[in-house]
Chain A
Amino acid sequence: MTVEVIIFGILALIAIAAAALMLLTRNAVHSAIFLVVVMSSLAVLFLGLSAPFIAMVQIAVYAGAIMVLFLFVIMLLGAERIGARDMVSWHIPMAIVLAVAVLLLGGYVLLTNPAVAVVDLPTEQIVQGSAEAIGQSLFSGYLFPFEATSILLLVAMVGAVVLTRKEKKSS
């Protein structure tokens, strides 16, 4: 057993345990914190999968900005205690059956379609997703989608402002 397998095992255990606890805990703030743990462990996995830039973006955007937004809304609404009787009992076995079906279907499709053969390469030829490489690709081949996402962000920002605006009493 190599050190890589051990590190992967630890990270996978942390991610799966935190994801399960996120679903089991009744307090929404605890759920958010466990989701941060999942995202952080995935970021470390990204580092190992030669995607250092994406790993940093994962920490900054996901574990940072998005989760702060979640926590902000949870605390703004005082929603951390809402839903003491949150889970409906008969939903749980049905949900688990459906989820296992999803997992088995995905596994079946992946196992019966060996479409992806892992490229066998010496270590120095592995493409590293550095900021430079991502930027080169983003501003050449993916320029149009990149500009489109800027418009999407603008629309989302305007939408969020309009949705949360206090309604004026219409005469």
Chain B
Amino acid sequence: MSNQGFVDLFPLLIGLCGVLFTLGVIGVLVRRNAIVIFMSVELMLNAANLAFIIFARALNQIDGQIFVFFVMVVAAAEVAVGLALIVTIFRTKQSINVDSINSLKG
């Protein structure tokens, strides 16, 4: 993307980040399926990654891209542990509806 094109698109790109993040927030608030809530969190992480890349490009530095790399690594670790938790909850409750997870003792 040329510099002028990027300068023109900069507010729209940030707006796209905001809209994607907001959709992720709506997903976490509205859906009751634990896996879909988890996917909405991934959507929010992706929106934040896009913001990192945009600002790295705007400041002409590579550090933003390094941070995206770390976010991806942490997301991978988080998904592994989170899905393990969901599998364990499903074994005990036979459900992954977050409203049914309402007691501390399984």
Contacts and interface: CB of A to CB of B under 8 A. Distances in A.
Interface of A: 2, 4-5, 8, 12, 15-16, 19-20, 22-23, 28, 31-32, 35, 38-39, 42, 45-46, 48-51, 53-54, 57-58, 61-62, 65-66, 69-70, 73-74, 76-77, 79, 82-83, 86-88, 91-92, 94-96, 98-100, 102-103, 106-107, 110, 116-123, 125-127, 129, 133-134, 137-138, 142, 145, 149, 152-153, 155-157, 159-161, 163-164
Contacts of A2: 5, 8
B57 A156 contact: no
Interface in B33-52: 33, 35-36, 38-40, 42-43, 46, 49-50
Contact of B80 (A110, A145, A160): A160
Nearest to B17: A106
Contact of B2 (A99, A102, A123): A123
A95 B30 contact: yes
B83 A103 contact: no
Given A49-B57, A79-B90, A31 B39 contact: yes
Nearest to B14: A110
Contacts of A22: 23, 27, 36, 39-40, 43
Interface residues of B, number: 76
A137 B30 contact: no
